[in-house]
Amino acid sequence: MVETSNSYLITSTSLKPDISWEFLRIPEMLIYGMRIVGFPNLQKETYDDWISINNQPCLLTPFLTNPQTTLISKEESDKISNDYNYRWCIIHTLSRPGLSLDFSQALIQITAHCPAGPPQCGNLLYLERTGEQWAVKSSYGLYNQ
């Protein structure tokens, strides 16, 4: 995993391409037989906090202490992406969570990149807290090849 938080798809006001708070609040719908589920309960302050906190990448090292996760620098990620010997590695990035004022909601972005090709994917996850537990209530595919 890249050691700095991901701001790759985040601008100063929204996701690229212009995925605004209003756009993400779409209800469930069918488009060409695919079920698309938005985040109809997403609070504006959750989205705004997420955009604001991820405008500048942050070092994740103090927050991720799982021994099964290897953190690498952006430079090392670029080097691995261009090295034939690492073509099947999957490199993950993570944004910092945006939280609602009452800490009942969170929004986070996760990506996976394999230099050899698929899986190339990015998801925006909508989480809700019940008591002490967080649960992913919905995800929105940002891109997938």
Q: For residue 60, which amino acid is it? A: L
Reported pTM = 0.80
Q: Each residue of 97-112: pLDDT tens digit?
A: 999 999 999 999 988 8
Each residue's pLDDT tens digit, 62-71: 888 888 888 8
Residue 51 predicted with pLDDT over 90? yes
pLDDT at 142: 77
Contacts of 43-49 spanning 24+ positions with Cβ under 8 A: 43/100, 43/101, 43/105, 45/100, 45/101, 46/98, 46/99, 46/100, 46/105, 46/106, 46/107, 47/21, 47/98, 47/107, 48/21, 48/98, 49/98, 49/99, 49/100
**What does the pLDDT read at residue 119?**
58
SS3 content of the chain, % helix, strand, coil (to 5): 20, 40, 45
CA distances 36 to 49, 66, 108, 133, Å, are 24, 33, 18, 26
> Which phi and psi angles does 109 have, rounded to 5°?
-115, 135
* pLDDT surpasses 70 at 144: no
pLDDT at 107: 94
Tokens, residue 106: 């969170």
